[in-house]
Structure 1
Amino acid sequence: MSMAMMDVLCSKITIGNADPSNPMKITNGIEITEVHRLEINESYKKLIGTAKVSFPKGTVCRSTIIGTITLEGKDASRITTEVMHDGVIIEKRSTQQLLDETTFKVGQRINIKLGYNGILKNMFDGYITGYNSDSMLEIQCENMAYKLKLKQAPHFETPVKGTTVNEVLEGKYNILKDTGFKIHSDTKKCEIHIGKVKVTDNFTVADILSEWSKYKVYCFLKYDANDEGDMPAIAVGRPYSSSKAQPVFPEDESTGPYRIIFNEHVAQSDLKIVKTDPKFLAVTGKALGTDEKFFEVTIRLNPEYDPTVTGSKQYQTVNATQISKKTHKVTGNTTAAGAATKTKVDLSTYTIAPYMSPHIGITSDQLVEETTEYFRNYNLNGITGNVTIFGDFGLPPAVQVELADNRNPSKNGVYLVEEVTTNFGIGGYRQILKIPYKLKST
């Protein structure tokens, strides 16, 4: 008779002070290996990831005190020695203590490693931002981007035509100077254009990077494969392009796709297949004009399109807005319904997909072309909902997963992970994945 192996949950939480010369290194730290509940929430749409950790009162933590070698009057079983490179012998003494409200301090560094059977994976690095001690000891944390909330951004103004992410972060304007962060190597290879940036008030670096998400330029933390153990880098997801129906992100060997087999890796699923009738799909494209104001057009299929008739147009433009009230220039072409009269077509029964042009100062006709191309490439059969997997992979956001479901093969395909919520504790180890973008079917 054979018995299945039992997977044992393991965690290692280290809390202490950040080394001034290397914030990734924690000094004078304590180690905690038991936790009641832990939740980590990260998304490529948010620069600041968060974590909440709760401990039962009476939890034991362990610390290591380093000093000169003196064994007299001490329990030698708890003392180890180490010979340093310069020949000096130091003493390492392990101590234990109970957690209480005096154990933690706001601003301390925290590192969280999770796994099974003693194999741990680094899941979170950040700082403690708050704590309470009610029935449980609970600490609230933010990831390493917390440091960018403490860095004042310089005042500067870019040209009207706009600039690039590289110029703002590390180039001419260099807002990452003295922050310890740098641009992710794959992001640095791309010329990601953004509109005019004007900083004349008291903004932090985090304020600027978070503001870009409104324009579909997503900044998030990602460890560079070439810099293991260093600070995470600033990765930037390019906005929707005219040839792709989803954001584009830096890719390396860590981005997958990770193959998720439903009957092995999935704990729970509320995924639903959404089939959209292309006749009732509309795409609203938005762009930033040279007057620093947004204008938009909406594209839908022409209900009277006949491919056998010469000159019949497959797509039509509706609900266009004006570029500027001062100039009264209409953004749509001359056939754009509602552009001049301000009459809006009722699209309440349509599925509306958003599109953001990555190009600054384009004309209305160019926006129509980009939005139409996006319509052609839009994935009409996607997925809504989330999938909850076991902690086998320990996934971050902005990676790709390949779903494999033999019972419902319509779900099968490669998807982009937008958000990951990691839960660990007495309920087990789970990750809830939000996967709204299907990259391809398999």
Structure 2
Amino acid sequence: MLKLNAKIRVYETISLIPTPKFYEFNYVKNVEISSSYKSLTDTAVIVMPQKVYTDTKGFDQNLFANASGKEQSIYDFFKLENFIEIFLGYDGDYKPAFRGYITGVQADINATISCEDMMYALKKIKAVDDDNVQDQNDLYNTIAVNPTTNVENFNPKTFFEKRIKELKLPIKLNALNEELGNIMISRNHTLAQVFEMLKEKGIFTYFKIEATGPVLTITNNPQEHTASELVGFVDRNFIKSPLAGSLVKKLINQGLDLLSSQLSKATQSVSDVFSGKVRFRFRYNIIEDKLVAVNESAKNTRTRVEKYFKNSNTPIYIELGDPNGQLIKTHVLHNDTDELPKDPTAFKKAATEAASELYQYGALRAMQSKPNGFEGSFLTFGEPFVRPTDKVVLENAKDKQKNGTFQVEKVERSYGVNGYRQRIYIGRRVVAI
């Protein structure tokens, strides 16, 4: 029988930056962790005894200043905004399951510690510098020369690389390299609020657990669609218009060929601890099955993407889906630097190129809504360890359509007196077996 093991490290912090001083616990009553690329923040709840004895067998005594057996309160170690790491596993093998900050400590019979991932820090840090405010004592920027900042040709990669580097937090960044036009950012906005703005543009932000540390991932392709899948989706949902003809399709394919290397690069795991792809077998290591099949459907709906230029109040636009369907989403892009040509021939060429780019933009967003695959979840053991955006291979199902490779959307992890379990929510089908 496998032996469960857990390890919790709590680091003291200065201005949310972890210090080298930490306390380590190798016991816990219960841990609940919820992780999804669709939610901005992952959460964890830890249940532990209220009292701590610093000479408990199994502790590294050097971690405590007074390792004399003195009874201490859990509050002496689990303090608000301390940095926390949770490692879980079997038979001495520990995998990082959560990294973040303590946001609450409540005590009853046991102590309940609430945690949020690294996004907690980014909810407290402003997205833009405060150098241009009229009054340097105006912490909330209520009086400013300009209450908002206009970021031209906003690129998540360049914008957030610069800002995250300044923070000196233990964060690595894997950000989308795509220009989104002009974006207005309020001086009061935190980084997390900007991430919420980007979500409206079909861009997801989440922290992905890696062995070396949390990776802030900003992507328009969390389900890791390939270029060939995008081409197929555009073909199936292409709505003809004066701009949308064979030339546009040719340019779309050329653009997706260039995009292919970036898409495949995003699917690669950056550590040896997590493979990014694991196998499960029905009637072997799948305890409970609550999966329901869904099929891609753009019937009766359509998606629109518009782009405005400096010298035009009329946008270049494209639509995907059912030409007679209900318009369910409009993505709007602004470019205040480039102008459309006035010459009719040059205008048509520029508009056609712009339309082909908008099809790529729209397809990546529209494909996230309802792809072929499953809704629901299945319950399994704590290993093999799975993270959101990993792939799972399901085998040996009586219902043959449940065999295949699928993308993980969400993982709920529970550890404690009832064992170690993962409830895995899957989405689109990647490859059929």
TM-score, length basis structure 1? 0.66
Cα-Cα RMSD: 4.4
Query: Greater share of helix residues, 1 or 2?
Result: 2
| Matched AA of 1:390 | F
1:418 aligns with 2:406: no
Aligned partners of 2:39 and 2:277: how far apart in 1? Answer: 22
How far 1:181 sits from its partner (Å)? 5.5
Q: Give the fraction of aligned pairs with identical amino acids, expressed as a percent.
A: 21
> Match for residue 27 of structure 1?
21
1:256 aligns with 2:276: yes
Aligned partner of 1:147 among 121, 130, 137: 121
Secondary structure, in 3 states, of the residue corresponding to 2:195? helix
Aligned partners of 1:125 and 1:79: how far apart in 2? Answer: 21
| Matched AA of 2:123 | K
| Matched AA of 2:215 | A
In 2 relative to 1, CA 222–158 (structure 1 residues): closer, same or farther, beyond 3 Å? Answer: same
| Matched AA of 2:3 | V
In 2 relative to 1, CA 216–183 (structure 1 residues): closer, same or farther, beyond 3 Å? Answer: farther
Kept in 1, the 8 Å contact 2:300–2:324? The answer is no
| Matched AA of 1:177 | E
Kept in 2, the 8 Å contact 1:26–1:109? The answer is no
In 2 relative to 1, CA 370–50 (structure 1 residues): closer, same or farther, beyond 3 Å? Answer: closer
Aligned partner of 2:183 among 197, 210, 235: 197
Kept in 2, the 8 Å contact 1:266–1:387? The answer is yes
TM-score, length basis structure 2? 0.67
How far 1:41 sits from its partner (Å)? 1.0
Kept in 1, the 8 Å contact 2:41–2:206? The answer is yes
Kept in 2, the 8 Å contact 1:286–1:367? The answer is no
In 2 relative to 1, CA 298–78 (structure 1 residues): closer, same or farther, beyond 3 Å? Answer: closer
> Match for residue 220 of structure 2?
238
| Matched AA of 2:35 | E
Kept in 2, the 8 Å contact 1:165–1:192? The answer is yes
Kept in 1, the 8 Å contact 2:26–2:59? The answer is no
Aligned partner of 1:53 among 40, 46, 61: 46
Residue-by-residue CA offset, 1:29-88 (whole Å, 9 max, x unaligned): 1424131x2111111123321101112455x45479xxxxxxxxxxxx999899xxxxxx
Secondary structure, in 3 states, of the residue corresponding to 2:231? coil
The size of the alignment, in residue pairs, is 352
1:387 aligns with 2:378: yes
- Which of 1 and 2 has greater Rg? 1
Aligned partners of 2:181 and 2:37: how far apart in 1? Answer: 20
In 2 relative to 1, CA 205–366 (structure 1 residues): closer, same or farther, beyond 3 Å? Answer: closer
Superposed counterparts of 1:322-401, under 5 Å: 381-401=372-392
How far 1:92 sits from its partner (Å)? 9.4
Aligned partners of 2:381 and 2:59: how far apart in 1? Answer: 37
1:213 aligns with 2:199: yes
How far 1:138 sits from its partner (Å)? 0.5
Residue-by-residue CA offset, 1:342-373 (whole Å, 9 max, x unaligned): xxxxxxxxxxxxxxxxxx99977976797689
How far 1:393 sits from its partner (Å)? 2.0
Aligned partners of 1:17 and 1:28: how far apart in 2? Answer: 6
Instruction: For structure 1, list consecutive stretches of 5 or more residues without a partner in the other structure.
Output: 1-5, 65-76, 83-90, 301-315, 325-359
Kept in 1, the 8 Å contact 2:299–2:325? The answer is no
How far 1:423 sits from its partner (Å)? 0.8
Kept in 1, the 8 Å contact 2:50–2:73? The answer is yes
How far 1:151 sits from its partner (Å)? 1.9
Kept in 2, the 8 Å contact 1:181–1:234? The answer is no
1:169 aligns with 2:165: no
How far 1:195 sits from its partner (Å)? 3.8
Mean alpha-carbon deviation: is it higher for 144-153 or for 236-245? Answer: 236-245
> Match for residue 18 of structure 1?
13
In 2 relative to 1, CA 374–216 (structure 1 residues): closer, same or farther, beyond 3 Å? Answer: closer
1:107 aligns with 2:102: no
Secondary structure, in 3 states, of the residue corresponding to 1:177? helix
Instruction: For structure 2, list consecutive stretches of 5 or more residues without a partner in the other structure.
Output: 130-148, 235-261, 333-350
